[in-house]
Amino acid sequence: MSVSTYTVTGMTCGHCVGTVTSEIGKVAGVTGVEVELATGKVTVTSDGPLDEALVRDAVEEAGYEVAAN
């Protein structure tokens, strides 16, 4: 199992959180997504190393941005 964290910008409410959660949840290998609205912190659990580009794409697909860490 591997855990990675991202900072997502542009989320303003629970609906945004739901959209980001569901889009990242579709990425291959992802087993869990936790989004903290106040900080934009997104914790992704996966069953193997995750392709960061796919997570980034998923977040952009949802209409938000991954901040550079």
Site for Cu ion, rule CB under 5 A:
12-13, 15-16
> Which CB atom, from 1 or from 13, has the smaller least distance to Cu ion?
13
> Which CB atom, from 18 or from 25, has the smaller least distance to Cu ion?
18
Shortest separation between residue 16's beta carbon and Cu ion, angstroms:
3
- Contacts of 32 by beta carbon, 8 Å cutoff, 6+ apart: 43, 44, 45
Query: How far apart are the C-alpha atoms of 48 and 69, rounded to whole Å?
Result: 21
> Which CB atom, from 8 or from 55, has the smaller least distance to Cu ion?
8
